[in-house]
Structure 1
Amino acid sequence: MDTYLILLRGINVGGKNKVPMAALRKLLEDLGFAGVSTYIASGNVILDSDKHADEIKTRIEKALPEAFRLDSELIKVLVLTRRQLQAVVDNKPKGFGEQPDQYHSDAIFLMGIDSTHAMPVFNPRDGVDKVWAGDGVIYSQRLSAQRTKSRLSKIVGTPAYTSMTIRSWNTTTRLLELLQRP
């Protein structure tokens, strides 16, 4: 059995697509997944399975709208191995996420698109935003003192945004720690 990180896009955001974590854990256990745990209510799940990542994704994407009343068709699932998440952390830009008092840093995980197609929707404001393309991820950093001037929110209205899910860098590194559980 392998351990996977499941990132759910579009749940528990702005009061929409409410999915209680206890009910989500039960649903995934009922689907035959083992060792199911969640981390905060933003759609982070760790589970064990003998299935391939593509099959896990398909099963969860099918089951979610059947089990929960979802307001949107924008629910998507990303399945990552520990090795894949480790690569996201290891390949971060130099200094990224290392000054949390000065910068707000996010990992923007890509779902079905690559960074070449995702990067054009970003329009970083000089002196406020920085973005870097990675493998399956966009690294985004905003100067905390000027967060209200950030242009990151402008990606929300773009078609590419439906193929992204955002996690803070703190959450991303914590998820990696949780994936390394015994």
Structure 2
Amino acid sequence: MSTRYAALLRGINVGGHRKVPMAALREVLEDVGFSGVATYLQSGNAVFTSDSADERALARTLEQGIEKRFGFTVDCLVRDAAYLRAIADDCPFPAAELEARQLHVTYFSEGVDPERFAAIDRAAFAPEEFRLGERSLYLYAPDGLGRSKLADVLARPGLTRGIVATSRNWNTVVKLVELTAD
């Protein structure tokens, strides 16, 4: 049975580095055997269909295809439509009442122990706040990500050591749900 997936590429097309044109990314996805390929924005979001149910294997396949085509490595996360829908549905913040720039989701390659974040003095960053989800972290930043002091702390390498983490704003979270819906 075919499943619809989103591929979330980490750190491409930022500041002129690690350029991956979306047309070329679509070609890579098709070359590695995926169907129903589409991309969204220039920041590394793609959707595709596959008969495989192994998200890690799909991510490795895509990473290898990107390295072969562009000559550099890119960390990729692959998530199925059901997971993406659950992330949107389980948002602990009132998404419908917020501007998309105020709400972000960081997707993790695996579940994280809440202890990783225990040393963060949450009260010191109010009204900004974060909550952990299923292989994810939700960030509410009322003044946007660019002005968020909490986002800076959450992005420290020690907090995500050993895992892949990539963030998307709420508009992208919602769009990926739409693009992967059956």
Tell me the CA shift for residue 31 of structure 1: 1.0
> Where in structure 2 are the equivalents of 1:89-168 lying within 5 Å?
89-96=88-95, 98-100=97-99, 104-114=102-112, 116=114, 118-120=116-118, 124=122, 125-144=124-143, 148=147, 150-159=149-158, 160=160, 163-168=164-169
How far apart in 2 are the matches of 1:155 and 1:24?
29
Per the TM alignment, residue 15 of structure 1 is displaced from its structure 2 partner at its CA by: 1.7
Is residue 115–residue 134 contact of structure 1 (8 Å, CA) maintained in 2?
no
- Summarize the Cα distance change of 1:146–1:176 in structure 2 as closer, same or farther, 3 Å threshold: closer
* Shift in alpha-carbon separation, 1:63–1:153, aligned structure 2, 3 A: same
Amino-acid identity (%): 29
Q: Which residue of structure 2 aligns with residue 59 of structure 1?
A: 61
Normalised TM-score (structure 1) = 0.85
Match of 2:35 in 1: 34
Amino acid at match of 1:131: F
Q: What aligned pairs does 1:59-98 form with structure 2 within 5 A after superposition? A: 59-70=61-72, 75-96=74-95, 98=97
In structure 2, how many angstroms separate the alpha carbons of the residues matched to 1:92 and 1:131? 11
RMSD over aligned Cα atoms:
2.5
Stretches of structure 2 lacking an aligned partner (at least 5 in a row): none
Whether 1:6 aligns to 2:4 is: no
Structure 1: which 5+ runs fail to align?
A: none
SS at match of 2:97: coil
Scaled by the length of structure 2, the TM-score of the pair is 0.85
8 A Cα contact 1:56 1:79, kept in partner: yes
SS of the residue corresponding to residue 33 of structure 2 reads coil
Deviates more, 1:34-43 or 1:51-60: 51-60
Paired residues of 1:4 and 1:47 also in contact (CA < 8 A) = yes
Distance in 2 (alpha carbons) for counterparts of 1:90 and 1:167: 16
